[in-house]
Amino acid sequence: MAVVQAGRAVDALAPSGALVIATYGASPIQLYYCYRHGWAFDISQGTDEQRIEQVEKMRQKGAAFFVTTELGIIEREPLFKSYLARFSLEKSANNYKVWRLKEVS
């Protein structure tokens, strides 16, 4: 199951106190499998601009990682996809991706 695999990846990558933005609809189940605190984020809602604004607010509150199993939505949203490209893609599999939310220079 993708949420379990993605959660294991975050658990291996992220320090124990790291805050995570996790997408699995509006459900917090992805956070559960990451064994981290943070935010459940429904990327199917709103515009790309609204998504970017929400992620930026969560980054300001300490979000350090972004994990998703909803790759199709990201592929269909070019502005949000290019926004995520600013960050380090730490793990990529055929059914999930994990970014470290520190801008790559």
How far apart CA 83 and CA 81 sit, in angstroms, is 5
pLDDT (tens, 9 = 90+) of the chain, 105 residues, equals 999 999 999 999 999 999 999 999 889 999 999 999 999 999 999 999 999 999 999 999 999 999 999 999 999 999 999 999 999 999 999 999 999 998 765
Is residue 57 within 8 Å of residue 32, measured between CB atoms?
no
Provide the residue range defining the domain that includes 8. Answer: 2-99
Angle formed at CA 69 by CA 9 and CA 27, multiple of 5 degrees: 100
How far apart CA 55 and CA 84 sit, in angstroms, is 10
Which secondary structure element, helix H or strand E, spans residue 15, and what is its range? none
Is residue 54 included in any domain, yes or no?
yes
What's the token pair of residue 46?
A: 């709103």
**Domains in the chain, number:** 1
Is residue 88 included in any domain, yes or no?
yes
Is residue 62 included in any domain, yes or no?
yes
Write down the pLDDT at residue 104. Answer: 62
Is residue 105 included in any domain, yes or no?
no
CA separation, residue 92 to residues 5, 50, 88, 89 (Å) = 11, 25, 11, 7
Is residue 19 included in any domain, yes or no?
yes
Single pTM value for the model: 0.94
